[in-house]
Amino acid sequence: MNSKRLAATLSIALACATTQVQSAAPATAPTLPVLVALKAAEAALAACVAQGLTPTVTISDREGVARVVLVADGAGPVSISTSRRKAYSAASLGISTAQLAKNAAEMHIVPQSVDPELLPLPGGFPIMSHNIVVGGIGVGGADRGTSSSDEACAQAGLDSIKAQLE
């Protein structure tokens, strides 16, 4: 039962991701150049470092493969895996990981049971170009308790490349 509901949820997530996509041919679909990815990663890292936070920032491609990884001075090993998993989750589902957490809670499902790499914790956003997912950004390790620094830093990274994605 649970797995059926989870499959349905993931289908919904995927459907949302592809909403408005007019069957773009993969060969002509926009991609995320490494220099744009790098810019976003540097901006996200800078936003966190400016607050004295030490996260890891990962930018993945649309397949969820890490293309840029920046580990802040003093960042711990868990931040490396959480940032990667947040980027992966956002890129593969096309929704923010905060939204994924909300969806999962509402439907009483555990995304990790479908794919252990999925991580429903805030701090991951899909990177969109022309309504197509071209990658994901994930920030991990900045949160202290109940703050939402991971998400704020990831958003700063996303904002820094907004103009280049149009």
Partner 1 sequence: MRPVPKPGWTASKPSSNDTLGEAIVKSNRLAATLMLALACGATGAPAAPPAAAAAVAPLPVSLALQAAKAALAACVAQGLTVTVTVTDREGVARVVLLGDGTGALSIITSRRKAYTAAALGMTTEQLVKNLSGSNFDLAMIDPELVALAGGIPIMRHNVVIAALGVGGADRGDADVVCAQAGVDAIKNQLD
Q: Contact residues for partner 1 (CB under 8 A)?
A: 31, 33-34, 38, 42, 45, 65-73, 77, 80
Closest CB 154 distance from partner 1, rounded Å: 17
Return d(Cα 38, Cα 46) in angstroms, integer: 12
And the tokens for 97? 């990981």
Closest CB 41 distance from partner 1, rounded Å: 9
Return d(Cα 133, Cα 56) in angstroms, integer: 22
Closest CB 48 distance from partner 1, rounded Å: 11
- On whether the CB atoms of residues 106 and 8 are closer than 8 A, the answer is no
Closest CB 81 distance from partner 1, rounded Å: 8
Return d(Cα 78, Cα 68) in angstroms, integer: 17
**Dihedral (CA of 162, 87, 38, 80) sign:** positive
Residue whose CB is less far from partner 1, 73 or 106: 73
Closest CB 104 distance from partner 1, rounded Å: 26
Report which residue type is found at 70. Answer: L
Residue whose CB is less far from partner 1, 17 or 70: 70
The CB density around residue 117, as the number of other CB atoms within 10 Å, is: 14
